Amino acid sequence: MNNSISKKVEEILSKMSLKDKIGQLSLGTFSFKKIDEAKEYIKKAHPGALIITTSAHAGNDVQENVALSTLNEIQKFAIKEMGIPLIFGRDVIHGHNIVSPIPLAMAASFNTDLIKRSYSNIKLEAMNDGIHWAFTPMLDVSRDPRWGRVIESPGEDPYVGERFATAVVEGIQGDDLSKQKNLIACAKHYIAYGLSEGGRDYHKAEVSDYNLRNHYLRPFKAAVKAGVKTVMSSFNEVSGQPVTSSKYLLTDVLKDELQFGGFIVSDYSAVRQLKDQGVAEDDEDSARLAINAGLDMDMHDRCYIETIEKLIESGEVSEETLNESVRRILTVKMEKGLFENPYCYGGEYDQEAHLKDAEDMATESIVLLKNDNNLLPLDKSAHISLVGPYATEKRSLLGSWCLDGKTDDMETLLDVM
């Protein structure tokens, strides 16, 4: 850590109340339809960050358009109330206004230079809307086609995952995170999430330490080496222990062994889910297990905000444990330059160049399995029948987990043919 940043963090930390510290550990949800509610939440909870989403299923639900002026208004209110800027996060997975192929297809291109450039384009568009934090790259080694989130991953090969991780982190974060054009990247879902038994999401995974380290950990190790500032823990349990409450996986392996210096955020309501996984009795117990395991920020469910003060009073969580998580979060905010430049004023980007890179990525990611009958390329004089529900569909062509793609700018398959 930069000594100057470290000193500034300690100065801020020394002046924070217990409420201020606990609030920094919260990632609340934000809707543009509920601005007054968001301000009341900021006033009451002093959160560290807001995720711009209307549901846990943002990848497939229709989401609100991002309004930069409103985010600046919320930031101004937060700084007045807390003295500390918010981080605005968004699921920016494989495109923003201009959409690239899904990550599984991008990885299949084996073109890491183009992947890096594509994510550099993506971040410029997201930054233009006031986003600081993109919940990408998704690095789950995925080998069961029944698992519904395979499309978000770089696939089944750890080496491809490593290369993809490095390219995306470098593309998103750039060479100087404090520049407005660069975003905070988030490596997810740590770890073995793609190994969920039977391909059932949120399910348990059985994995030996050997396989964990030689297959599933490798892309995350590459992301840490590339300087990723945040990591998202996974919902699943690994060999009987939910990752959200695993000190071995979060602290011993990720923070100590891999020397990850950023902060760990939970997935959506994953702390509260510890009750459903049978290891916690209530929200308070869930928070105790998670923060003592090394989970720094709680997404959405407010378990930390509502219970950590009581846990500190009872001695079940030490104030130094709390301080360490706050320290990590403030450090990332400092590195992003949010204390000096908390507001975003947008910027211009070359739309035609972004479109060209997206087209090149689509071309390189196509996998032709067999062409024995020379079906391709299509004969322009041939008669072709186009059938099925996707002939005139637009939204589906953007792929899953695309929140901000513009269907008005798209052509259907029927239009093109």
Among candidate residues 140, 267, 301, 404, the one labeled active-site is: 267
Phi, psi of 234 (to 5 degrees): -95, 160
Query: Which residues have a Cβ under 8 Å from the Cβ of 399 and sit 6 or more positions away?
Result: 94, 99, 101, 102, 151
| 311, 288 contact by CB (below 8 A) | yes
* Phi-psi map region of 151: left, alpha, beta (phi>0 left; psi -120 to 50 alpha): alpha
| 121, 167 contact by CB (below 8 A) | no
Strands lying side by side in the sheet with 263-265: 186-190, 230-233, 263-265
> Is residue 379 flagged as an active site residue?
no
| 335, 302 contact by CB (below 8 A) | no
Helix 112-127 vs helix 351-365: angle between axes, to the nearest 10 degrees? 140
For β-strands 237-238 and 241-242, DSSP reports them as antiparallel
In 3-state terms, what secondary structure has residue 251?
helix
Distance CA 100, CA 89 (A): 20
**N residues, the chain:** 417
- Indicate which residues carry an active-site annotation: 267
